[in-house]
Chains A and B, each alone.
Chain A
């Protein structure tokens, strides 16, 4: 917290004095948009698990996943405040915006991380808590501190951090990890590169300006477009795997095929058109794609469950 003291001296610059972070700044540190997608995929893991748990414990598990994700976002903002300051998209975040001391963000993020893992362990189970701790550590140490500034493969490997939540949700319900949560992990893991590279294609100049070696900056836009198509071809079959392996029904299977064809079409459009417009469209669609896939997985699981009980 800022310890600045306002004295009764009118010569003090009020703008410089008033640097106390507001509630909204703490909320912004938690990256609410990222958090909502993380919670959603975590919920999918909980719903798809073959064992149902008490609703209160399920809510606690989701809360811990949300807080853990937000906490790692806060630590990320602490470490990356120099990069954030140089990019238009992130320059108004609490630290580069001058509304918060970096140490406050670090303390906030660390406290929430420890709290989320501890509550997950005590209230849910320690397998889910260990996975949550691994996710936070992976995002902070492997992605943010190690990979992000060093290699264009940053989001390929770092994407694992965003892929853990369905596995955590599953582990919260069952206490273990089997093939299905690994497939869910794989779907998000393989979805992350084309999603972020689509963004990086039209933000390449900003990434270059702050020395973040995103693929379009290091290997060029042509190679990035090629990689987007390649990853899309690995991603789409994997999204169909839950149906092919009998984990889900035809509702999800047919939708995964249709949505996957649209994703591939978007990737090819990026490849052919070579325009920012196509990259923006793919970026926007990729968010909808992941959301719909996981929503349909849950709907399908609920339909199958209802079918068994009737």
Chain B
């Protein structure tokens, strides 16, 4: 019984970590896309 409870807790913890990692990855990739877009605009506008 204890083993089942521990296993469930580990599974929940793993899923929580995966969720937060995926969220951060989405934010990082989104920010990079935005950053490259802004850099392109600045460069095309003659900004150094």
Contact = CB atoms under 8 A, between A and B. Distances in A.
Contacts of A54: 42, 47-48
Contacts of A11: 3
Interface of B: 3-4, 6-7, 9-11, 13-14, 17-18, 20-21, 24, 35, 38-39, 42-43, 47-48
Given A23-B21, A60-B35, A18 B48 contact: no
Interface in A1-37: 6, 10-12, 14-15, 17-18, 20-23
A53 interface: yes
Nearest to A51: B48
Contacts of B10: 6, 14-15, 17-18
A123 interface: yes
A20 B14 contact: yes
A57 interface: yes
Given A23-B21, A57-B42, 5 more contacts: A6-B11, A10-B4, A14-B6, A18-B14, A23-B20
Interface of A: 6, 10-12, 14-15, 17-18, 20-23, 53-54, 56-57, 60, 63, 123
A56 B20 contact: no
B18 A20 contact: yes
Contacts of B4: 10
Given A10-B3, A56-B39, A22 B21 contact: yes
Contacts of B14: 6, 17-18, 20
A18 B10 CA distance: 6
A280 to B, nearest CB: 36
A123 B20 contact: no
Nearest to B3: A10
Nearest to B39: A123
A123 B6 CA distance: 49
Given A12-B7, A14-B6, A14-B7, A56 B21 contact: no
B43 A10 contact: no
B21 A60 contact: no
A10 B20 contact: no
